Structure 1
Amino acid sequence: MKAILTDIEGTTSSIAFVADVLFPYARARLADWVAAHPVKAAPILAEVEATEPGDPVTTLIRWIDEDRKATPLKALQGMIWADGYRAGGFTGHVYPEAAAALRRWHEAGVKLFVFSSGSIAAQKLLFGHSDMGDLTPLFSGYFDTTTGPKREAASYAAIAAAIGEAPGDILFLSDTPEEISAARAAGMEALLIDRTGGAGDIATFDEMSA
């Protein structure tokens, strides 16, 4: 493979970190953050209200509870999480074997990219403040839902074009079968990771070689 494209939640990072640390942190602080940053929040709130009329803060909190993959929510969450990372409230969880593999592939000349439903800013924060150190120098680029939905083949075709490699020369890693199917439909190689040891192609990054 000339390039590896990886998901985050359930792939390089535990689902529990996102569900039990990041989401509650943003939910508890969302209303106060919006009130304290009216200029930054205004375009996000306008986009939310255009999507669902009503109180945008209430809508955003409900979207968090629903784990909605909405771009304005992800953008706002990323801004709130930035405060938490910088204050040392938490570090980004990355599996040790995943970090080791990413470093190994980078040293071998494989280009590394991220595709997550979290905003690009949030991706950089997690890897930049990870408990495995600053991993951002390993990555050549980041993609989020502004490129397209993660369960649609067109998104992966667009990423391949942006990376500048043929889809068949890109390996995608994810814990979500629908994302794997979409990547394969776009012509990418793809492996389903199941860290519970279930029906995935791999259980850890240790089972792979670049």
Structure 2
Amino acid sequence: MGVQAIIVDTAGTTTDFQFIKDTLFSYSADALPEFLEHHHNDFAVSNLLADIRAHANEPDADLPRLVELIREWIAADNKLTALKTLQGLVWKQGYLKGDFKGHVYADAAEALKAWKAAGKRLYSYSSSSADAQDLLFKHSNEGDLSALFYGHFDTNLGQKKTVQAYKNILNVVSLWPKHVLFVSDDVEELNAARDAGLRTCQVVRGEGVRRGDHNIVDDFSQLKL
């Protein structure tokens, strides 16, 4: 039956990593103090801050200390689920206010549309929260692409370089591994996906990307299912 579902990575694959770093990360760091001042007592935010305090082993950290910690983790691209979820909430206000649009490569947008039209089930998988991924595709420079996706996966299902994460995803999509293709720029992610039985393809968009022994393309237009 061939490929029935396609899972795409975001940063470096569908999306320019510099947009993630220069726009999204910078925005969340800059907007964080005001966001926490207004929302730290909100139920969801309060729970995320509790997780961050526990992870830092600083149960009594006040808001200024939390801002300091979170900014350090943003700069280091810490993959902590609570941090990524909080960043997604901050980014949501930026998208809704029109402060920026999500970046999606034109070749990725066209391929996603074609695959959807061909009846493929599309998902994305990122360290960013599922909600943040939905916002990126909904408010993208290529238009609203959110309806193309069946869903989005994040680190609630596991870290992206672990085999178990892809096994967990297979349980969610309820497909045999050979019917699922994972597309990413990251060799370690692709290795983990392949070890879980998935088909793989590496997108190498520029110099300096470590290449693996997977099918390699320069952009999505070269990817043949």
Deviates more, 1:48-57 or 1:177-186: 48-57
Aligned residues between the structures: 210
The Cα shift of 1:181 comes to 0.3
Please list every run of 5 or more consecutive structure 1 residues that lacks an aligned counterpart in the other structure: none
Kindly indicate whether residue 195 of structure 2 is the aligned counterpart of residue 180 of structure 1. no
- Give the one of 146, 159, 165 matched to 1:155: 165
Letter paired with 1:51: H
Q: What's the counterpart of residue 50 of structure 1?
A: 54
Please list every run of 5 or more consecutive structure 2 residues that lacks an aligned counterpart in the other structure: 59-64
Seq. identity, %: 39
Kindly indicate whether residue 224 of structure 2 is the aligned counterpart of residue 204 of structure 1. no
The Cα shift of 1:39 comes to 2.2
Kindly indicate whether residue 142 of structure 2 is the aligned counterpart of residue 132 of structure 1. yes
Task: Classify the secondary structure of the residue corresponding to 2:99.
Answer: coil
Deviates more, 1:38-47 or 1:104-113: 38-47
Aligned runs of 1:1-210 on 2, under 5 Å?
1-40=3-42, 41-54=45-58, 55-196=65-206, 199=211, 201-210=216-225
The Cα shift of 1:56 comes to 2.7
Task: Classify the secondary structure of the residue corresponding to 1:196.
Answer: coil
Taking the aligned partners of 2:50 and 2:33, their CA distance within structure 1 comes to: 15
Is 1:14–1:94's contact at 8 Å kept on the other side of the alignment?
Answer: yes
Letter paired with 2:47: P
The Cα shift of 1:208 comes to 1.0
Deviates more, 1:76-85 or 1:49-58: 49-58
Letter paired with 1:60: I
Taking the aligned partners of 2:138 and 2:56, their CA distance within structure 1 comes to: 34
Where in structure 1 do 4 or more consecutive aligned residues deviate above 4 Å? none
TM-score normalized with structure 1 length: 0.97
Letter paired with 2:158: G
The Cα shift of 1:162 comes to 0.5
Kindly report the root-mean-square deviation, in angstroms, between the aligned alpha carbons of the 2 structures: 1.1
Q: For 1:147-197, what per-residue CA distance to the aligned partner results, in whole angstroms no more than 9, with x for missing partners?
A: 001000111011011001101110001111100000000000111111016
TM-score normalized with structure 2 length: 0.90
Q: What's the counterpart of residue 61 of structure 2?
A: none
Q: For 1:38-68, what per-residue CA distance to the aligned partner results, in whole angstroms no more than 9, with x for missing partners?
A: 2232111110111112333221111001010
